[in-house]
Amino acid sequence: MLTKTCCDCKEPFEVEESKAWATRCLPCWIALQDRQGKRKVESLQAEVDYWRTRANGGPDNTAAIGVLQQKVDRLESDNLKLRLELMQARAKAATPGKSLPVDWRDYLPRLIQLCHPDRHGGSEAANKATVWLLGLKKQSR
């Protein structure tokens, strides 16, 4: 065993010869590791806070964003249904006995454009509506 002097507390401490490189006693070494660990944690926390700020949210907002996205999807779907119902109602009023106007195909490109997923952040509701409208378009050929 070697007797050395701690570089922090200046107290003597004993170490095995295989650890002759040691410069601190065990209590001072533990305290140093604790300080370094706290600094690392604080540094990482600061980085996490920075990226949360840059991303305009974080785990706290993830659930809220998901709920809002579902509401947006539902509203987009309802809006499309209401537009189609309005179109059908106008057609029935103009030509009794028919569910869609003779020129209903003229509305399809505009409806597809209006509900296209690229205009609605790739939402599921927009995808479904566009697929349905494209199917209508294919059937009308």
Fill in the DSSP letter of residue 17. G
Write the pLDDT tens digit of every residue in 59-107: 556 666 666 677 777 777 777 777 777 777 666 666 555 455 556 677 7
DSSP per position, 58-99:
-HHHHHHHHHHHHHHHHHHHHHHHHHHHHHHHHHHHHSTT-S
* 80 CB neighbour count, 10 Å cutoff: 20
In contact, 80 and 128? CB cutoff 8 Å: no
Nearest 5 degrees, angle CA 38-CA 50-CA 122?
135
- Residue-level pLDDT at 114: 84
Residues whose CB falls within 8 Å of the CB of residue 106, separated by 6 or more in sequence, listed in order: none
Q: Long-range pairs for 67-70 at CB < 8 Å and ≥24 separation?
A: 69/123
User: For 20-32, what is each residue's pLDDT tens digit?
Assistant: 888 988 888 888 8
pLDDT over 70, % of the chain: 76
Cα(122)–Cα(138) distance, integer angstroms: 22
Better-predicted residue by pLDDT, 116 or 50: 116
Rounded to whole angstroms, how far apart are CA atoms 127 and 40? Answer: 45
Give the pLDDT of residue 56. 62
Overall average pLDDT of the 42-56 stretch: 72
Supply the pTM of this predicted model: 0.33
CA distance 11 to 24: 9
